[in-house]
Structure 1
Amino acid sequence: MIRAAEVSVGDVLPPLALRITRADLVRYAGASGDFNPIHWNQRFAEQVGLPGVIAHGMLTMGMAVRVVTEWAGDPGAVVEYGVRFGRPVPVPDDDEGALVEATGKVTKVLDDGTFKVNVTASFEGRSVLGGAFARVRLP
């Protein structure tokens, strides 16, 4: 577990490679109750103008914050997390799924002693979350 005294503005978190598969979409749909056909039906997704089945935005968001929780060593260290959804993550119907790459950078020490970490999540080199940040309280 990292300690506040070990953190400086400008620190870059270790990158994290995340795979999202169609099986993940099924599990997430069951847990969230979001059974929108854009997340499981290729034909429907294409009919509404998408490149194919796409990951749930909240699933992508939840997976991306792992770059922070793994760095902090405690998911409870994240006291605030926010994103804007930028572009969809198409998930192919294969065993590999979609590769989302998450990175983070400490950008500020806030007045309450927490740290602001900007989070970047990208798919095929393009950002999928905009303005993503976490506020982290470290021991």
Structure 2
Amino acid sequence: MTDLPERTFGPITMTDIVRYQGASGDLNPMHHDDEQARASGYPAAFSVGMLAAGWLATYCTEHLGEENVRRFRTRFTKVVYRGAELTASAEVVRYFDQDHERRVELAVRMRDDDGALVVDGTAEFAVAG
């Protein structure tokens, strides 16, 4: 296996954000109420960080299968606003054997339109021998 081909998600809409909020139960108004976000010093309401992380997980499982996920860790590095397009990428770090199966470790990243890192992480998947 080589690095995964990049995939773009978005542009992020208010509908994407509100749908994610409803599904996750994270109803923080900072994500859907521009007035509240501005009152807190932001220029507008902003996306839920886990939305981008979820898209990153979707990207990985499209290539390697949901049933093969062994570990997925992310951290958020930048606030993302509506209208942004995010590009997912995954780089093969290593292959190794664990628990009687072959695995691949990936460095996973999500970048915004300007190329700035918004989600950084690692993932492990079971792969065929």
Q: Same fold (TM over 0.5)?
A: yes
* Aligned length, in residue pairs: 123
Match of 1:129 in 2: 119
Per-residue deviation, residues 38-93 of structure 1 (Å, max 9, x unmatched): 11011111221223111111111111122211221x122121100111111111xx
For residue 59 of structure 1, give the secondary structure of its aligned residue in structure 2.
helix
Per-residue deviation, residues 9-61 of structure 1 (Å, max 9, x unmatched): xx221111001211011111111111111110111112212231111111111
RMSD of equivalent CA atoms: 1.3
Amino acid paired to 1:121: M
Once the two structures are TM-superposed, the CA of residue 115 in structure 1 deviates from its matched residue by 0.6
Distance 2:77 2:6 in 1: 20
TM-score, scaled to structure 2:
0.88
- Structure 2, unpaired ranges of 5+: none
Amino acid paired to 2:116: R
1:45 matches 2:37: yes
For residue 15 of structure 1, give the secondary structure of its aligned residue in structure 2.
strand
Match of 2:14 in 1: 22
Change (3 A) 1:110 1:49: farther
- Tell me which stretches of 4 or more aligned residues in structure 1 moved more than 3 Å: none
Higher relative contact order (CA 8 A, sep 6+): 1
Higher strand share: 2
Amino acid paired to 1:127: L
